[in-house]
Amino acid sequence: MSIAENPLTGSMRKSMGNFTMYTYNGMNIVRSKAFTIKDPKTEKQLNMRARMSRIAVMYRKLSPIISLGFPEREVQQSPQNMFVSANFKTAFVMADDVQMLSYPLMMLAKGSLPPVTIPEATTDAGGLTLSYDAGALLPDVTANDEIIACALLITDELLMIRQFIGHKPIGTIQLKYPSLQAGDVACCYVFVRSRDGEKASDSVYVPIIK
């Protein structure tokens, strides 16, 4: 049963049939609920749901990095929206008839700056050390812009670091983690971001030789 002081202008609340009515900020709001919910669970639907579920899990693990990786977006879009858009169609492969998110295909950043080149990535007693070609980024990226690196470990720990690119033609950046082994790293990515935070490059997947 619904309750209304006046069907046209008075406050309204509760439900009648498939309608739910309430008053919000002086306005009468009426919502319609479906009598029946269609959920056929077709193969296409199940694949879409599997992709969205896996992207949601990955977003939760990598959200601190994703929040930095998509500055070039419309006002109404969030970094999460951009992450889903960048990966939903292109970051999956089929493995044993299951939709699997591919780390090498996944993007954590997207933008107009040139992508960074990583000539070498090594694990040692101090952690994961990456070298990058700073000279190849000129003139679009300068010494005062940032390079951002991250590594997701198989334990779901997230390592990340931000530093100025600097003036050396070949720079280094280290994700500190004592006695890190290559097999401890699930995936690693690097991208650059302008100092004012308004631009970024596409992220680059960095393979760690195991």
- What are the chain's domains? 2-32 (no CATH), 43-205 (2.60.40.10)
141 vs 9, higher pLDDT: 141
Is pLDDT of 121 > 60?
Answer: yes
The Cα–Cα gap between 169 and 135 comes to: 5
Amino acid symbol at 143: A
pLDDT at 5: 55
> CB–CB of 64/148 below 8 Å?
no
pLDDT tens, position by position, 46-87: 778 888 999 999 999 999 999 999 999 998 899 999 999 999
Question: CA of 30: how far to CAs of 3, 15, 96, in Å?
Answer: 12, 9, 47
User: What's the whole-number mean pLDDT along residues 152-168?
Assistant: 96
- Count of Cβ atoms closer than 10 Å to residue 9 Cβ: 9
- Is the pTM higher than 0.85? The answer reads no
